[in-house]
């Protein structure tokens, strides 16, 4: 059972040791409509917080050369915003902790200046000039401007920690944690990107909202998700469905578990669960990632005692960007973390019964959020 909303799990997590060496972020991705042309465009907005116990009046940037020489760890709220497509862009705005208001419990909220995030609202702006981008490589971003005012309605959840894995989360066994309060989220509102206006319409937003937190990242890093799904069996759109796959190489007390993924498909109300931490499901996973000249390809096969899910997703390289983060220790571990929102492909779902495998549905997926990266 994974479609269980949990506002407490979506709350701010950087307490105790994680306050001194930890990150917590709330990620949002969705599709908007160009006011003039009617064309679709995928966007992302993220609120990323790092090492609050180290903070003060000004943001501390780990990629600043002086801080790197002195071994000073980063500390800030970073608001990341941007879009995918051929004109893809990622913009970063940093705040020192003295400027940040953040709730200590559920429901969560994060606020600094005009930037605000909660389970139901996203507001904010970021503006970076070309000169600023060139002069500040420690900002790890492009140049441009974006403003947003959005409402969120989270419909389907992927509660990774529901059940046995909740115990591992409570004792901070893993280096990186994940919770998707809004595996399917309806977004509504307005976006302005570099002076161009976009409308966000709930039934065409194909929205997603999750969070990650911990003391380190994973390598490889895998993420695939969409709720824009069409059944090849019926030819109809699946209105109450979503899938989500993530993970790569989780660590328990610094010991890596090689090539493990968490995966689920909520298929018109029926749950298909491939969470490796649920030992009773006996989950087996294989996956690969290939870089082609024009596109990248993910292939994932997951199997448990009840079902099989086979996923193939593609995304054009020209529509993707390398998403930038620094770890809480100040290092840049991921320098080629592919990130896109225009993925497409197919998922095949099978039921297993008495040693036989029967195809439940073959699903066409589009508007797929997708990531892959390894330390380099």
Average pLDDT over residues 45-72: 96
Residue 204 in this model has a pLDDT that exceeds 70 = yes
Residue 356 in this model has a pLDDT that exceeds 60 = yes
Residue 322 in this model has a pLDDT that exceeds 80 = yes
* 218-222, 253-257, 276-280, 312-316: range with highest mean pLDDT: 312-316
Residue 352's DSSP bridge partners are 357
Residue 277 in this model has a pLDDT that exceeds 90 = no
Average pLDDT of every residue of the chain? 93
- pLDDT for 354: 83
**151 vs 244: CA distance, rounded Å:** 22
Domains and CATH numbers, the chain: 17-373 (2.40.370.10)
Q: Is the peptide bond before 220 cis (omega within 30 degrees of 0)?
A: yes
- pLDDT for 248: 63
Average pLDDT over residues 335-346: 97
Question: Can you read off the two tokens belonging to residue 277?
Answer: 């931490």
Q: Tell me the pLDDT tens digit for each residue of 13-33.
A: 999 999 999 999 999 999 999
Q: How confident is the model at residue 165 (pLDDT cuts 50, 70, 90)?
A: very low
Residue 143 or 160, more confident: 143
Q: DSSP state, 28?
A: E
Residue with tokens 């008495």: 354
- pLDDT for 333: 87
- Number of helices (H), then strands (E), in the chain: 4, 25
For the chain, where are the alpha helices, taking DSSP H only? 17-20, 65-70, 130-135, 164-170
β-pairing verdict for 255-256 and 284-291: unpaired
- pLDDT for 276: 81
Q: Tell me the pLDDT tens digit for each residue of 66-97.
A: 999 999 999 999 999 999 999 999 999 999 99
Task: Flag the least confident range among 38-52, 159-173, 286-300.
Answer: 159-173
Residue 176 in this model has a pLDDT that exceeds 70 = yes
In this prediction the pTM is: 0.94
DSSP helix/strand/coil, 203: helix
**Residue 19 main-chain phi, psi, to 5 deg:** -70, -25
C-alpha closest to that of 313 among 349, 348, 345: 345
Q: How confident is the model at residue 258 (pLDDT cuts 50, 70, 90)?
A: low
- pLDDT for 232: 98
- pLDDT for 3: 97
Question: Can you read off the two tokens belonging to residue 194?
Answer: 């570099």
- pLDDT for 169: 45
């Amino acid at each position: 059972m994974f479609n269980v909303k949990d506002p407490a799990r979506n709350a701010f997590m950087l307490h105790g040791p994680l306050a001194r060496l930890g990150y917590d972020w709330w990620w949002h991705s969705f599709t908007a409509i160009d006011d003039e042309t009617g064309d679709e465009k995928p966007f992302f907005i993220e609120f990323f917080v790092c090492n609050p116990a180290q903070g003060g009046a000004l943001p501390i940037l780990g990629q600043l050369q002086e801080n790197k020489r002195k071994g000073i760890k980063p500390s800030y709220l970073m608001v990341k915003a941007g879009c995918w497509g051929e004109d893809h862009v990622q913009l970063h705005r940093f705040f020192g902790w003295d400027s940040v208001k953040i709730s200590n419990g559920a429901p969560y909220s994060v606020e600094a200046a005009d930037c605000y995030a909660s389970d139901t609202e996203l507001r904010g702006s970021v503006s970076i000039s070309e000169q600023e981008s060139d002069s500040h490589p420690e900002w790890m971003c492009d140049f441009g401007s974006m403003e947003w005012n959005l409402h969120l309605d989270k419909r389907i959840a992927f509660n990774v920690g529901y059940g046995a894995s909740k115990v591992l989360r409570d004792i901070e066994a893993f280096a990186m944690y994940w919770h998707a309060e809004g595996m399917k989220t309806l977004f509504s509102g307005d976006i302005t990107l570099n002076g161009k206006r976009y409308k966000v319409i709930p039934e065409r937003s194909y929205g997603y909202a999750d969070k990650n937190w911990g003391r380190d990242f994973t390598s490889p890093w895998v993420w695939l998700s969409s709720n824009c799904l069409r059944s090849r069996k019926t030819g109809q759109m699946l209105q109450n469905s979503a899938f989500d796959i993530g993970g790569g190489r989780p660590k328990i007390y610094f010991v890596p578990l090689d090539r493990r993924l968490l995966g689920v498909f909520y298929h018109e109300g029926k749950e298909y669960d491939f969470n490796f931490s649920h030992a009773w499901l006996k989950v087996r996973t294989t996956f690969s990632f290939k870089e082609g000249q024009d596109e990248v390809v993910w292939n994932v096969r997951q199997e448990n005692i009840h079902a099989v899910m086979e996923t193939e997703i593609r995304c054009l390289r020209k529509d993707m960007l390398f998403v930038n983060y620094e770890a809480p220790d100040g290092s840049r571990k991921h320098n080629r973390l592919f990130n896109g929102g225009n993925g497409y492909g197919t998922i095949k779902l099978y039921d297993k019964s008495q040693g036989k495998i029967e195809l439940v549905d073959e699903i066409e997926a589009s508007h797929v959020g997708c990531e892959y990266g390894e330390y380099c």
